[in-house]
Chain A
Amino acid sequence: MNKTRTAAIAALALALPAALAACSGDDDGPVTLRYAFWDDNQRPALEAMIKAFNEDHPDIEVELEQNPWEDYWAGLDSRFAAEEAPDVFWNHVSRFPTYAANGVLLPITDDIEADGVDPAAYPEDLYDSWQYEGDQYGLPKDWDSIALVYRLDALEAAGIDPATVNDLEWNPVDGGAYVEFLQKLTVDANGNNALSPDFDPENVVQYGTAMSSNTGQTDWWNYAVQNGCSLQTEPWGDYAIDAPECVEAIQFTADLYNKWHVAVPAESTNQPNGGVPGDYVVPGQAATTLDGSWMLSFYRDGLEPGSWAVADNPSGPVGSGTVINGLSNAIYAGTDHPDEAWELVKFLGSEEAQSISTGMGSVWPGVSSLNQGFADYWAGEGIDVTGFQTAAEGTTTGYPLSMNDAAFGTAAMDEFNQVWLGQKDAQEAAEAVVAIANAE
């Protein structure tokens, strides 16, 4: 019959033999490190960096363990429980507080000092975001921000000059130039755009934008910053998305779906089943999207060179703004090979390693001096990526820092999915999320 057992039982059952097998010797022979990550786009860069690492460390073999984002954290948590976690893994700001507070991360403060790693090589904010109670728990791997990605053919067909795309403004009252831009790009089967009185919203062949973030990072959080909303009262503080300026941004996002009909419908884009924004832009279902810098290679691999470009984010009532984030490489506190793991993390945080990934156009580097190398790679591909840098230098917000991230994330996806579908009021949903996330 439906041959399933509860996942909990399965995980615990798996933990037994794992515990029995956990005794591996720590002699001087070759050591194997397991290195966990989630982003498929970055795999080639990781492999190249590990190859370079092995030139100096032939005795340390690095095994890549890849799980998609949706399964990554549940898998990591259950392997922490089984005390069988990968030695080194990608860490995310949203999970960092809980991991650091529960002692599953290895502090590297002393190693940094002993080996003379210079924290000034990284942007201060980025480096400091991996600190907890005076200890450092990772070295910055990269940073990312959000910018507007668009298809040139769609703009041409709509008669929009690409030079105007950098200065789009929106407001919650009449939508502003940004919504007008998206309306021109939303075209129905009869060739009418969303500004036309004959426009048929039930029969759209190309939408202006696609929004399918599972948090808000590539959609409504950006409108939130641009409207003066802070997701949290302060870092480590309460969630505050029920404030008027936040609710207004949520309502504006819902309007893009249901009032202006310029976004691929939420029936398709709602997470966890919807695609990534690029899944709608590459086949032409959407003309533009706000997307993260880590996705550039996705567009490069999916679209013809010269058929797409990057522009600045739109500006809202309080100006421009974006969501900024960065990942780190962290070490599992229970690793059998802390010294080798540190060698790997140190290398991955070095200028040498990160120049490999920027040289492949993978991600903006954690090491500040390499930013130009990333921009140069993309200039060589005919893509001007300064939109991401401009965004990062302006007003930004990061992922909320909280121990209640899991409760917040689940409640937000649940509630806002209903708002995007037009089934729930923005204020009511925001209050429900805050009530759940601040309760714990």
Chain B
Amino acid sequence: MQTLHDTEPRFEPESAPRKHRRSNAAFEAYAMLAPSILGFAVFLIAPIVIVVVLSFYDWNLLSDPEFIGLENYRELAGDERALKSIGNTFYYVLLNIPAQTVLALLLALALNSKIKARNTFRVLYVLPWMAMPVALGVIWRWVFDPQYGALNRFLDLFGVDGAAWLTDSTWAMPVIASVNIWQYSGYTMLFFLAGLQAIPAQLYEAADVDGASPLYRFFAITLPLLRPAMLFVLITSVIGSFQVFDTIHVMTAGGPAGSTATLNYQIYLESFTQRNAGYASMLAVILFAIIALITLAQAALFRKRTTYDFS
């Protein structure tokens, strides 16, 4: 009786503050989230909504926008430049992603082994990603100058006649892609490196006991267990690749003859050199749709595969 009597009041006052504390905690959490939610709404949600709305308008940036319904979308069908820029975008992504991913994976494998000065190499490969893309673009532009650039001067030493890299429509896009591969491989490598270090060592030991070849170990253990890292890397780098802008702006400005104008660059040109901000918004919506579809497809592709059973 006494114990019950004793416990009861103890129980009551305890439950009330706990409830109170819980709602207090929730309030604090929301308060702390508020700045980022506000930022998210103002800088991401609002611009996206504005762009979607603007895609139904004719707007030259200077006077008031005029509602034209689906006219911008209808115009796209006959716009060779815009359609070509969509093709250019896929071409760039195909040049960029496979090479960058394979290179990053090879770098990660090499720097995951016990070689000398491993940390120095890791830093060196990440450096290009840390530098300003615009500054790097300017320097690469000098390197690729056909007359006075370092690359063709170097090729000259071996009697090789270097191409006009950035003014030749065959070469310009591969050159841009290679600069970006150089710039982002080290960064992508970091994710593979983290993924590699998370693979339990006993799996390799077991494989050794079974006498598996290094190649077999790579395809049976390393690659399947890297799948989470691979999914992350592919989704983010494909999105980044579809949005490439700075390197192109600095190195070719979309030229020669529109051969490096990706969809993202075409959006800039339409909006800020042709003053067709409504039409550019329509292109931005198209780019958004393309990226969303491809990202969904990637996620689905990775989900379909059987997962490796750890237990």
Contact = CB atoms under 8 A, between A and B. Distances in A.
Interface of A: 1-9, 11-13, 16-17, 73-74, 77-78, 80-81, 98-99, 102-104, 202, 264-268, 270, 272-273, 285, 406-407, 409-410, 413-414, 417-418, 421
Contacts of B269: 410
B63 interface: yes
B256 A417 contact: yes
Interface of B: 42-43, 46-48, 50-51, 54, 60-63, 133, 141, 145-148, 161, 164, 166-168, 180, 184, 187, 236-237, 239-241, 243-247, 251-253, 255-258, 264, 267-269, 271-275, 277, 280-281, 284, 287
Contacts of A16: 42, 46
A272 B252 CA distance: 8
B62 A8 contact: no
B273 A12 contact: no
A7 B236 contact: no
11 contacts: A2-B180, A5-B243, A6-B264, A6-B268, A7-B245, A8-B277, A77-B272, A103-B63, A264-B147, A409-B273, A418-B256
A4 B146 contact: no
Nearest to A264: B147
Contacts of A103: 62-63
A1 B280 CA distance: 23
A9 B253 CA distance: 19
A421 B256 contact: yes
A8 B61 contact: no
B236 A1 contact: yes
A265 B147 contact: yes
B57 to A, nearest CB: 12
B286 to A, nearest CB: 11
Nearest to B145: A268
Contacts of B264: 4, 6
A118 B267 CA distance: 45
Contact of A265 (B146, B236, B267): B146
Nearest to A270: B167
A417 B168 CA distance: 11
Given A9-B48, A13-B46, A81-B61, 18 more contacts: A1-B184, A2-B133, A2-B244, A9-B284, A13-B47, A74-B272, A77-B275, A78-B61, A98-B60, A98-B275, A103-B63, A267-B167, A268-B148, A270-B167, A273-B252, A410-B273, A414-B257, A417-B167
B256 A270 contact: yes
A272 B164 CA distance: 15
A406 B237 contact: no
A102 B59 CA distance: 11
A5 B62 CA distance: 23
Q: Which 9 A-B pairs have the closest CB atoms?
A: A1-B240, A267-B164, A102-B62, A2-B240, A74-B272, A4-B245, A81-B61, A267-B146, A7-B268
Most buried by B among A99, A103, A264, A273: A273
**Majority secondary structure, A binding face:** helix
A268 B146 contact: yes
A81 B167 contact: no
B17 to A, nearest CB: 41
B167 A406 contact: no
A81 B62 contact: yes
B241 A273 contact: no
A221 B121 CA distance: 54
B9 to A, nearest CB: 54
Nearest to A79: B61
Contacts of B47: 9, 12-13
B39 to A, nearest CB: 10
A414 B63 contact: no
Contact of B284 (A6, A267, A407, A413): A6
A123 to B, nearest CB: 29
B277 A6 contact: no
A410 to B, nearest CB: 6
Contacts of A80: 61-62
Given A267-B146, A267-B147, A414 B267 contact: no
A267 B161 CA distance: 14
Nearest to B141: A273
A5 B245 CA distance: 8
B255 A12 contact: no
A407 B46 contact: no
B268 A102 contact: no
Contacts of B167: 266-267, 270, 273, 417, 421
B255 A417 contact: yes
A414 B167 CA distance: 11
Contacts of A17: 42
Contact of A3 (B240, B255, B256): B240
A23 B51 CA distance: 25
A421 B171 CA distance: 14
Nearest to A272: B253
Contacts of B133: 2
B243 A407 contact: no
A104 B62 CA distance: 7
A103 B63 CA distance: 7
Contacts of A417: 167, 255-257
B273 A74 contact: yes
B51 A9 contact: yes
Nearest to A74: B272
A413 B255 CA distance: 10
Contacts of A265: 146-147, 164
